[in-house]
Structure 1
């Protein structure tokens, strides 16, 4: 059965250029619209439930996607974003000034990234891999609302990527849709990071 995976809508900190991680900021009006657009796109999918990261921005997104449907939203800490330690809540420019080498490694050389204050890519992949396996035998479609780095971690898990290749593939824009299924022992990525439900917004 298909598992639908998405990122939360645009947030205030996304606009400001602040790293979020386990900390939270609210959806912007555009972020709410993005979630509603995805809800419209998925209106005919017979989901049995929605699973959300326990972060506020993903819960907000899940509620907007659900709309008027009678669906449970199950919150789970295990679907939260990668823990970024001291970087959380800081502007990217501030992090570059204070911890530039580690920040560059995080984005450009993930296989060399080491942290004592947050979560490693290896730990993230193990965490989300364990969670997705719990959903592998579901009989009806499930929607998981989570975060950008989590989604990249899942794709690394599905495709057995090396950490060096962690960031390859589609960029996970706000409410980008990924669809996967498990066939035998292998995961199949049916759709990756699709935003065709996004609409033009008049200024």
Structure 2
């Protein structure tokens, strides 16, 4: 049995500003750092065979915060990067809605038809399926920690549920440091957990 532990990076400054990041980067906030550390505590008793992350700074930092003092095989893979949003990157949602309302509508309501100046959702699905196949081949069993991005995890949900990309934004929402666990056994995929953020609740205690 192989289990994937998919994690979105921690909250960033641009997340707060509702500014699209894509391939660009902004720094983790104090909350983002704290949430990653809390997830590290939650996963401290899980034996991981390896950690894979998008090479974006925010995902690498999140992965290292989760790993803490543990020494684990760690690799980055560009195929785990966020969707390339081209000219939208660095702009706020409000700005995009004003300047390109029709294209933003497709992005939200009909993702299969969306095509900006970067990638479309099918591009993301193709590269994510490729990296999944490689990881399954390299790790027939065990636990893998995969630190990636919101759109990537939403696309993964459509893959595991065998859904159309037009349903990519269906709940649950994928918050910063949320945990999604997938079990793969005998060729079957099972979603055990989706977008779970229960580790954040310990901040309130």
- Shorter-chain-normalised TM-score: which range? over 0.9
Equivalent position of 1:198 in the other structure: 200
- Counterparts of 1:68-87 in structure 2, within 5 Å, are 68-87=69-88
Equivalent position of 2:31 in the other structure: 30
Q: For 1:94 and 1:201, how far apart are their aligned partners in 2? A: 33
Q: Where does structure 2 lack aligned partners over 5 or more consecutive residues?
A: none
Q: Contact 2:6/2:146 (CA < 8 Å) preserved in 1? A: yes
Shift of 1:185: 2.8
Moved more, 90-99 or 19-28: 90-99
Shift of 1:114: 2.5
Equivalent position of 1:173 in the other structure: 175
Shift of 1:44: 0.5
Moved over 6 A (4+): none
Moved more, 89-98 or 19-28: 89-98
110 and 57 in structure 1: CA distance in 2 versus 1, 3 angstrom threshold: same
Name the TM-score, length of structure 2 as normaliser.
0.93
Shift of 1:186: 2.6
Shift of 1:150: 0.1
Q: Contact 1:125/1:156 (CA < 8 Å) preserved in 2? A: no
Equivalent position of 2:151 in the other structure: 149
Q: For 2:70 and 2:158, how far apart are their aligned partners in 1? A: 32
How far does the alpha carbon of each residue in 1:54-112 deviate from its partner, in whole angstroms, 9 at most, with x for none? 00000110010010001132111110000101000111111112111111210122133
SS in 1 for 2:199: coil
RMSD, aligned α-carbons: 1.4
Q: Contact 1:136/1:181 (CA < 8 Å) preserved in 2? A: no
Q: For 2:21 and 2:134, how far apart are their aligned partners in 1? A: 26
Name the TM-score, length of structure 1 as normaliser.
0.94
Shift of 1:136: 2.1
Shift of 1:166: 1.5
